[in-house]
Amino acid sequence: MKDGVNGVALAVFIFFFLAVTVIGFMASRWRKAENEASLDEWGLGGRSFGTWVTWFLLGGDLYTAYTFVAVPAAIYAAGAAGFFAVPYTILVYPLIFTFLPRLWSVSHKHGYVTTSDFVRGRFGSKGLSLAVALTGILATMPYIALQLVGIQAVLDVMGVGGGETTHWFIRDLPLLIAFAVLAAYTYSSGLRAPALIAFVKDGLIYLVIAVAIIYIPIKLGGFDEIFSKAGEAYAQTNEATGQPRGSLVPGDMGQWGYATLALGSALALFMYPHSITATLSSRSREVIRRNTTILPLYSLMLGLLALLGFMAIAAGIKVDNGQLAIPQLFENMFPDWFAGVAFAAIGIGALVPAAIMSIAAANLFTRNIYKDFIKPDATPAQETKVSKLVSLMVKVGALAFVLTMDKTVAINFQLLGGIWILQTMPALVGGLFTRWFHRWALLAGWAVGMLYGTAAAYGVASPTQKHFGGSSKEIPGIGEIGYIGLTAIVLNIVVVVVLTFVLNALKAPAGVDETSPSDYTADVGDPGVKAELPPATAGAPGGH
């Protein structure tokens, strides 16, 4: 790492950061609607986004700064295993294509803002809805914290924030400022702010990747050279484990892990509240389906980005903290001003998802905890107010998390979050297609999946950690190493199916279903589905 502050890079970084801040505040006036007090406005951008806005918003949302730092970092550390992010983000689109238009339709018809709203309406169970909401909030919080880790990595490499000896307040001041600004414009503009900022973020990211993928290999002597150097580096024995550091292609042992991790992560990704929020903000079913055909462009970019991990090895980057590998590569390879652009891309890349995630978590709290359990007669204006405040609290919580605890804690929790959020799948996806599942069976399956997943992850040790050392473990009954989340969801589904048979045989009372089959295919223009702005009463559907 170079000593001192990289002044040029920092100046460029600050320039972009200021530009984005202005955009964030101005966003509140963009496509402003009349019923601005409703949660649909603040929390879903008026459900009015077309194909392009949705593309930038979902892209900016799903491919976070942490992804940009962590995926090449994983490649840098171990090689092939880290590349699972590419099949994972390929597989997510056929899933979205199949499932989310149905969720969009039923949500539009009944004014649902969150997945828990849907689960409550479908199964008539506040308990199940609460379980889904809590899981969503728990899984999202560490994800927000990790966005901060992404910003920190960039600040570290730029030389801002000082060393370990600096007073903590001075060291963390840049991060505090960045987050205060983010919190302020999310509060005032809602989902419109990240939607607009996503344009800047993605423009910068595409620019940086395009340049990096051409410029760096030329400097390093071509891909042949890069991969042969990387291959040598992986073959060397890691002193901590006594095994090679990694490999260029997964061996027989690693293939189950690779496939299950790709599938499990794809299933988890679109269950996350922030993906659902961005999806529901789109204008029609068509927008969602059309987006699944253009969003994979981001996966291509992610694949190219992952290759930077090999380049970091070939360029002889040596960092203790793998997260710093890519920012360091940029600083070593690029002229200062372009390194600044690259850092700005990562930094802004953290702000967009952090904003959407905090809005999604706030919506869950407001709709499914505050309104269902604390104040059932809340008006849409009150809902919006609570949601705005909670979005602030969520961010402060994430900040406290990152500043007071070790970074590995955030990473561990994010790993757990993926396993947890996957356990809401039977209720959500099952509910979209059938009402056969019994609400109590779904709740029991969820509990079993959560417990198994947490316990199994706790038991995974790594050379540096006793617990939560990874997300893969031997699959009971098969004996191969696989993703814990996937094992947990299989267990979950088995419990749900068996208990549903039992409960139906016992004639246990099923909840009231407020949806009808035609709700799941309703589109803009159908009776009861408003083209743009939902009625002001949309905040109080369902007759509770």
Partner 1 sequence: MQEETGAKPPTVTPGRVVIALCLIAPFVALLWVSSYARVEPTFIGIPFFYWYQMLWVLISTGLTMIAYVLWRRDQRARKGGASA
| E strand map for 351-504 | 472-474, 481-483
Q: Is 225 in the site for partner 1 (CB under 8 A)?
A: yes
CA-nearest of 385, 368, 359 to 190 is 359
Number of residues that bind partner 1 (CB under 8 A): 41
Q: Is 244 in the site for partner 1 (CB under 8 A)?
A: no
**With respect to partner 1, which residue has the nearer C-beta, 135 or 275?**
275
Q: Are 180 and 393 in contact (CB under 8 A)?
A: no
Q: Is 358 in the site for partner 1 (CB under 8 A)?
A: no
Tell me which of 125, 292, 328, 515 binds partner 1, using CB under 8 A: 292
Tell me what percent of the chain is helix, strand and coil, each rounded to the nearest 5: 75, 0, 25
Tell me which of 290, 385, 435, 530 binds partner 1, using CB under 8 A: 290
At which residue do the structure tokens 């599938």 appear? 263
**With respect to partner 1, which residue has the nearer C-beta, 394 or 522?**
522
Smallest distance from the beta carbon of 287 to partner 1, in angstroms?
12
Q: Candidates 78-86, 127-135, 196-204, 386-394: pick the segment binding partner 1 (CB under 8 A).
A: 78-86
At which residue do the structure tokens 């998390």 appear? 401
Query: How far is the C-alpha of 352 from the C-alpha of 327, rounded, in Å?
Result: 19
Helix, strand, or coil (residue 472): strand
Helix, strand, or coil (residue 475): coil
DSSP per position, 161-221 = T--TTS-HHHHHHHHHHHHHHHHHHHHHHTTHHHHHHHHHHHHHHHHHHHHHHHHHHHHHT
Smallest distance from the beta carbon of 314 to partner 1, in angstroms?
11
Binding mask 27-66 for partner 1 (x = CB under 8 A): ----------------------------------------
Q: Candidates 194-202, 303-311, 390-398, 436-444: pick the segment binding partner 1 (CB under 8 A).
A: 303-311
Count, in order, helices (H) and strands (E) of the chain. 22, 2
Tell me which of 223, 433, 436, 501 binds partner 1, using CB under 8 A: 223
Query: How far is the C-alpha of 534 from the C-alpha of 110, rounded, in Å?
Result: 10
The token pair that represents 51 in the structure block: 């194909």
Smallest distance from the beta carbon of 225 to partner 1, in angstroms?
7
Tell me which of 185, 258, 365, 483 binds partner 1, using CB under 8 A: 258
Smallest distance from the beta carbon of 217 to partner 1, in angstroms?
8
CA-nearest of 372, 438, 424, 319 to 72 is 319
Binding mask 458-497 for partner 1 (x = CB under 8 A): ----------------------------------------
Q: Is 24 in the site for partner 1 (CB under 8 A)?
A: no
Smallest distance from the beta carbon of 30 to partner 1, in angstroms?
28
Q: Is 435 in the site for partner 1 (CB under 8 A)?
A: no
Residue 463 exposed, middle or buried by CB count within 10 Å (0-12, 13-18, 19+): exposed
Q: Are 347 and 161 in contact (CB under 8 A)?
A: no
Binding mask 178-217 for partner 1 (x = CB under 8 A): ----------------------------------------
Q: Is 337 in the site for partner 1 (CB under 8 A)?
A: no
Q: Is 245 in the site for partner 1 (CB under 8 A)?
A: no
Q: Which residues pair with 79 in a beta bridge?
A: 247
Tell me which of 7, 50, 203, 222 binds partner 1, using CB under 8 A: 222
Q: Is 91 in the site for partner 1 (CB under 8 A)?
A: yes
Q: Are 426 and 442 in contact (CB under 8 A)?
A: yes
Q: Candidates 198-206, 301-309, 334-342, 362-370: pick the segment binding partner 1 (CB under 8 A).
A: 301-309
DSSP single-letter state for residue 326? H
Binding mask 95-114 for partner 1 (x = CB under 8 A): --xx----------------
Q: Is 90 in the site for partner 1 (CB under 8 A)?
A: yes
Q: Are 267 and 422 in contact (CB under 8 A)?
A: yes
Q: Are 147 and 65 in contact (CB under 8 A)?
A: yes
Tell me which of 59, 82, 87, 453 binds partner 1, using CB under 8 A: 87
Query: How far is the C-alpha of 218 from the C-alpha of 228, rounded, in Å?
Result: 15
Q: Is 252 in the site for partner 1 (CB under 8 A)?
A: yes
Q: Is 300 in the site for partner 1 (CB under 8 A)?
A: yes
Residue type, 52: W
Tell me which of 162, 244, 303, 470 binds partner 1, using CB under 8 A: 303
- Where would I find the H helices in 375-430? 380-404, 407-422, 425
User: Footprint of partner 1 on this chain (CB under 8 A)?
Assistant: 80, 83, 86-87, 90-91, 93-94, 97-98, 222-227, 248-252, 255-256, 258-259, 262-263, 286, 289-290, 292-294, 296-297, 299-300, 303-304, 306-307
